Amino acid sequence: MSQTSTDSSADAGGFDLAQFYSVFFEEAAENLASMEQLLLALDPQAPEDETLHAIFRCAHSIKGGAATFGFGELAELTHVMETLLDKLRRHELALTSAMTDTLLTAGDALTAMLQRRQGNEVDLPDVAGLTQAFVGFANGDQAAPAPAAAAAAAAAPAPVAAPGTRELELLAGPLPHASIADDLVTLFGEVGGIGKLEVAAPAPDQDPQSVRFHLTTTAADSELLDLCGFHLPREQIRITPWGGAAAVAASAPADLSTAADPGWGLYENAPGATPPVVAAAPVVKAAPKRVTGGDTTIRVSVDKVDQLINLMGELVITRAMLAQRASGLDGSAFQQLSTGLADLERTTRDLQESVMSIRMIPMSDVFNRFPRMLRDLAAKLGKQIELQTVGEATELDKSLIEKITDPLTHLVRNSVDHGIETPDERLAKGKPAAGTLTLSAQHAGGSILIQVRDDGRGLDRDRILAKARKSGMQLPDKMDDSQVFQLIFAPGFSTAEVVTDVSGRGVGMDVVKRNILALGGSVDLDSAPGMGTCVSVRLPLTLAIMDGMSISVGGELYLLPLATVVESFQASTAGVKTMGEAGRVVKVRDDYLPVVALDQAFGAGFGSEPVADPMMVIVESEGQRVALEVDALVGQQQVVVKNLEANYRKVPNVSGATIMGDGRVALILDVSALVRRSRH
């Protein structure tokens, strides 16, 4: 397929369309995602008309935008897609599974084309074979032809027309108004017996302001000229025999009630030609905002949102500084100042919540990526899988959404490959032939809980232990189920007997856990043999602002994420025991917890004498609890998280930093690292 040069983005008048490329790429990606979801939800046995109309509109929008910018290869493929979709929505053809598969493959091809247009090196599917498959479907073929068969079909002679009918090429133009093309199509549809007029793909040497039609008729040329004369002078009409079926890419009459942009063959030029000035108008008008379902939204760059959040963070810090300075003033003498600061605090918190909500994205953006993947995996593995999603409206910070997608993808692939059985196995066990995979998201305190749950075979405890010992892992004599299941997150660990292109190499689960821990989250696993497996991922709602508990150690101020704090208490000297050379534990009710002395971990207060009855804070991470020995509890507050590694360097046992109200920098402790430290 030929690539249209991007140099055509500037027309003769110097107007550069390249400035709108990013808008087109974003809208095309959204349309492709919507089209894929609609196709996956479509029942081939009883397709809903509204769904078919919606799929047609997605393809039509992509085609119009691609033609406007001169992206000929995109416009050509979407045009033949649109032809098939139009016949489906008009019930001229019956939908088949082969059509759905080919439409999904075409969506992948369009995505790859868009990636190439954005400068990414990706492999393109067989676009020519897809085009011929759509032409075959539109001509009534019930199965998609193979590329070789499609090429042979293209070379075959066109079928002979019925006696008395003629296939003609009608070239109209140059047109003073683009709507005249729609008027001509409508006119031929209203006049019975005159024939069928369809918009066709432009010829390579065609005037961009002209429109090419494919006409099937029994009428004489004079009758056709008289009919066209209602809208155009005769000298602007040229009628010639139709040159060849391979050039046909017929489009249905334009549906102006559902199409907000011009279609292929109306405004746009042929592939490789320079777009006319008039083509820019629809994109320019639609670029700033779009209206869907009555709600007006504005497309804003992520960089601008990040800048707004940074400024919001500075405002929070400044307010905290003002409150710190005002705390030493006489409240009665500065009553108005105190009232103003209280109002500022309330307004700042409301503004902060509003600004943070801009970055919050519903989990449906992640969940919607899996139906297509599950469909392909089920077909490859010979399994039947039903996907259920719960809590799609639960919102998560955009930065977390982007980073959690890959770990969830790996968990889903593992559930499909290792967890869910084949239909024969499930029926033999008394289960339904189709396995169920459930993706759920819900708020849990100050964090979000995401679960990947299947009703498959579950984890085999004995098999995991045998594999771990065979791999040379040093294991304790007694391990509960949760500890055994955590072994699958060890690097290189896999119980798969056969390595497939889906999973089984022992690479991935350790990366999944490491990535989740890097986000300040945790991952837990629960399973029952024969019943299924559930992987629970717990994440903070946002990485920008968090609630923390400030503590004092050796005269320095530190912060603990409040979500990790379980409780705090004053330990008695008798309750702290020394084990081995340096290890200590503290008795909490009927349990003993390892103690981590923060003054030793950070070298604070070096050389000071041990404190009698020390203050302890119990924190939890990765399913384990430890007691942190601190000097004092300072308070609880909301802080702005600053990336320490990007601005300084990686500091052990520290995940970030923040600026306190008095201007001091406080380090935010990495609780997961401290828990791991206690093990050694």
Q: Are 17 and 352 in contact (CB under 8 A)?
A: no
Low-confidence winner among 205-214, 464-473, 643-652 (lowest mean pLDDT): 643-652
**Each residue of 307-317: pLDDT tens digit?**
888 888 788 77
The domain 6-158+270-292 having CATH identifier 3.30.70.1430: the answer here is: no
**Each residue of 251-261: pLDDT tens digit?**
333 333 333 33
pLDDT of residue 230: 66
Residue 174 preceded by cis peptide, ω within 30: yes
**Each residue of 25-71: pLDDT tens digit?**
888 888 888 888 888 888 888 888 888 888 888 888 888 888 777 78
Select from 520, 444, 526, 517 the least CA-distant residue to 485. 526
Domain spanning 362-540: which CATH class is it, in words?
alpha beta
Residues of the chain with CATH 3.30.70: 166-243
Q: Are 416 and 394 in contact (CB under 8 A)?
A: no
d(CA 151, CA 160): 20
pLDDT of residue 543: 66
Domain spanning 302-359: which CATH class is it, in words?
mainly alpha
Superfamily for the 545-679 domain: CheA-289, Domain 4 (2.40.50.180)
Angle, alpha carbons 669-674-677 (nearest 5°): 150
pLDDT of residue 310: 81
Low-confidence winner among 1-5, 109-113, 461-465, 567-571 (lowest mean pLDDT): 1-5
**Each residue of 142-175: pLDDT tens digit?**
554 444 344 333 334 344 334 467 888 888 877 7
The domain 166-243 having CATH identifier 3.30.70: the answer here is: yes
How far is residue 326 from each of residues 312, 659, 660, measured CA to CA in Å? 21, 18, 15
Q: Which residue has the higher pLDDT, 129 or 647?
A: 129
Residues of the chain with CATH 1.20.120.160: 6-158+270-292
DSSP annotation of 48 reads -
Residues of the chain with CATH 1.10.287.560: 302-359
**Each residue of 224-276: pLDDT tens digit?**
776 776 677 777 788 888 864 333 333 333 333 333 333 333 333 333 333 33
Select from 149, 196, 184, 333 the least CA-distant residue to 265. 184
How many helices, marked H, and strands, marked E, lie in the chain? Answer: 21, 24
Select from 87, 128, 121, 138 the least CA-distant residue to 106. 128
How far is residue 490 from each of residues 319, 506, 531, 674, 676, measured CA to CA in Å? 46, 9, 24, 19, 14
Residues of the chain with CATH 2.40.50.180: 545-679
Res. 449: pLDDT tops 60: yes
pLDDT of residue 534: 92
Select from 432, 350, 363, 430 the least CA-distant residue to 401. 363
Low-confidence winner among 119-123, 304-308, 427-431, 673-677 (lowest mean pLDDT): 119-123
Residues of the chain with CATH 3.30.565.10: 362-540
